[in-house]
Structure 1
Amino acid sequence: MQQIPNAVFRATESTTRTRARERVTGGAHRLPAARRCAIGLLGVVALTGWAGPAAADLFDRWYGAFGVGWSYADRLELDADDAYIEADRGTDQLLGAIGRRVGDDWRVELDYARFDRSPEILYSRSAGLEIDTDEGDSVEASSLMVNLVRDLRIGQAWRPYLGIGAGRGTLDVEFAELGIDGPFFQRPRRQIIDDSGSGLAMQVIAGLTVPITRRLELAADFRYWHMAEVDLEDVSGASADTDHSIRSAWLHLRYNGSGAGVFDAPAPRRDAEQGWYVMGNLGGGFAQDEDIEDQLLVIDAFDLGTVATVAAGYHLRPRWRAELEASYWENSVDVMEFSKDIGEDAASGSAESLSLMLNVIYQFAPGSTVRPFVGLGGGWIRSSYDITTFGFCRNFTCDPVEQRALLVDDHGTATAAQAMFGVDVAINERLSFSASYRQLVTGTTDMRRPDGTPFNTERRYITSVVAGFRYNLGR
């Protein structure tokens, strides 16, 4: 069994200190803080012109919103030498909000969001520490935030917005060393961290609203959320303090009272686009874990990556268009999983891809300023993988010297397909803003490791959110 230095974590096999202590000492403080945030929001709203002659009018300037999103969080740098916890991406995050319009261009809102991620590895180079996580472990964050949002009156059919928020955040970390019950080796599951901490959280918001009906709006935004100080301890009482940052992308449906909407009227009608166009997009991509064919290898954690696209296309009919699109995709690699018998290693490097796709897109409401669309595409992708692993343990035997190895440095090609949905918003007769959600899947990419062993990725899945502009050449 790997020994954990006192300088990092003095966790032993005694796990008698559990969440019960934290719930008794810390849980009692969470509800009052949440109430204070809610009361603070109501107080701000009351000071901004709430009073009206009729009780029914009080809800005219209120709105409610529900959002689903995708998140990426930085590794948890722990207050213990250079120890950190690497975790996977977060998907299908949920957010709910209520708010009130203040004047014509300002909103005050209260939102609650949850972020769930799966930890992969606990690592410290200076302490010679490498611990694989148990399947049931988690890194969970939640936030209750009061936001001040400014809607920018740019164009008739879209409203960019900027916001700042402050409130209470909670981080809950459960990390344990995996238990083994094999014929030749046994070891019990060992708890390392099982604690939570709360504190002040801040966030910044940038997004865009488009109308669906007079009261229903669709919004998309990017948020950066940060807790500066989170007090955590391992099960022995040693400090594991950290901070926590989350980058997230969201799609929201917002339902407004009669006086709460961003728009005074439905989107005006426009002539359907014709002829040729060019466009470009920029955004972020969330890569899923990748299995290596015929091997017990998994690329187990990626960073949030960059996606960039350029395209040229032609409007076949008012509702249909076809385009040829070139794209660049990049994701850094953080963790490699070898097998349950060998475990995981920390990793560095990246997977980069260039794709060429033919997309066919169907556009709803071609005569409107706001034009939702769906699309399918297929083509070819060239991917380059450059991955180096480093770690201290193999087959449950650990060495004090870190072992580094070049796992793969090769490239290959494969077929690829993508599905998308999004919305176009006309800015003028030629220029439109476009935002879309996309899901890319590739076929098998054949490559080789430095020793000649095949390294063939079975499939690659990337979820991306991109935004950009399209310029119509046909008018």
Structure 2
Amino acid sequence: MIRFALSATAASLLAGTCSAQIESEDGLYLGFRGYGAISDQNNLIFAASREFGASVGYRFSDVWRVETEYSRRWAKIQGLNGAKTVRGDFDAHTLGLHLFRDFRPGKKLRPFVGVGVGGGILDFDFKGPADINPDFIVVGNDTNISTYGNVFLGSTYHINSQLRFGGGFEYFSFTDQAVESNIGDIDGINRSYNFFVSLRWRPDF
């Protein structure tokens, strides 16, 4: 009887330990996000926008986590107000800090919201004829440094104790800046509405 009681107690302790290990999510993790973006910049027309991000994060409670993320955002420039056949490239590299609030702790499907701030380097390179005079070539080759802000909304599915798969929506906005060209500064906004998928991996130290 005593042996049975000790065995039952040991089994209970072992089960409790395993359960705690499975349920605990605190600690370091690595993340990846892949985006499809709908960009919105007046004066310059973007197409074929693509984005990806890689992050290092830390969960410090059941519902709060923070990430630092590097991302690259690029697109084809397929027109300019007053020069619709202008063609070129847009490329941006960013580094930011994001804070997330997760809901439904302990569940496999967990909605989340997040906010972030950061900075980036934006490269514009385009060339093409003006609409009113095809002999006049509009040229722009400019690099800007800008801050940004963003907001996240989405959900994460816990595949197992280490892997999380997610998806959602992001609103992203750089600081409005003018792009230099041979026709003068071109005013523009730099913002996008992104749909993304994500993967998080938590090392099992």
TM, length-normalised to structure 1: 0.35
SS at match of 1:132: coil
Question: Contact conserved, 2:53 with 2:71, CA < 8 A, in 1?
Answer: yes
What amino acid sits opposite 2:181 in the alignment? Answer: D
Q: Of the two, which has the highest radius of gyration? A: 1
1:175-186 correspondence runs (5 A): 175-177=126-128
Partner of 1:146: 97
Is the alpha carbon distance of 1:167 and 1:156 closer, same or farther for their aligned partners in structure 2, counting shifts above 3 Å?
Answer: same
Partner of 2:63: 105
Question: Contact conserved, 1:145 with 1:167, CA < 8 A, in 2?
Answer: yes
What amino acid sits opposite 1:177 in the alignment? Answer: G
- Equivalent in 60, 68, 85 of residue 34 of structure 2: 68
Say whether residues 1:215 and 2:175 are aligned partners: no
**C-alpha distance in 1, partners of 2:187/2:139?**
14
**C-alpha distance in 1, partners of 2:39/2:179?**
17
Question: Contact conserved, 1:194 with 1:235, CA < 8 A, in 2?
Answer: no
CA displacement at 1:195 relative to structure 2? 0.3
Question: Contact conserved, 2:86 with 2:138, CA < 8 A, in 1?
Answer: no
Question: Contact conserved, 1:198 with 1:231, CA < 8 A, in 2?
Answer: no
SS at match of 2:104: coil
Partner of 1:130: 83
- Cα distance per residue 1:355-400 (max 9 Å; x no partner): xxxxxxxxxxxxxxxxxxxxxxxxxxxxxxxxxxxxxxxxxxxxxx
Number of residue pairs matched by the alignment: 176
Partner of 1:242: 188
**C-alpha distance in 1, partners of 2:64/2:202?**
14
5+ long unaligned stretches in structure 1:
1-59, 78-83, 124-128, 179-185, 260-475
Partner of 2:201: 255
SS at match of 2:180: coil
Say whether residues 1:89 and 2:55 are aligned partners: no
What amino acid sits opposite 2:68 in the alignment? Answer: L
TM, length-normalised to structure 2: 0.77
SS at match of 1:90: strand
What amino acid sits opposite 1:67 in the alignment? Answer: R
What amino acid sits opposite 1:162 in the alignment? Answer: V
Partner of 1:118: 76
What amino acid sits opposite 1:95 in the alignment? Answer: G
What amino acid sits opposite 2:86 in the alignment? Answer: T
**C-alpha distance in 1, partners of 2:111/2:83?**
45
What amino acid sits opposite 2:35 in the alignment? Answer: G
Cα RMSD after superposing both structures: 2.3
**C-alpha distance in 1, partners of 2:151/2:107?**
25
**C-alpha distance in 2, partners of 1:207/1:257?**
23
Report % sequence identity. Answer: 24
Question: Contact conserved, 1:231 with 1:242, CA < 8 A, in 2?
Answer: yes
1:423-462 correspondence runs (5 A): none
**C-alpha distance in 2, partners of 1:131/1:221?**
33
Partner of 1:200: 147
**C-alpha distance in 1, partners of 2:27/2:204?**
7
Question: Contact conserved, 1:73 with 1:89, CA < 8 A, in 2?
Answer: no
**C-alpha distance in 1, partners of 2:111/2:38?**
23
**C-alpha distance in 2, partners of 1:111/1:251?**
15
**C-alpha distance in 1, partners of 2:175/2:35?**
23
- Equivalent in 160, 169, 189 of residue 111 of structure 2: 160
Partner of 2:125: 174
- Cα distance per residue 1:254-274 (max 9 Å; x no partner): 101349xxxxxxxxxxxxxxx
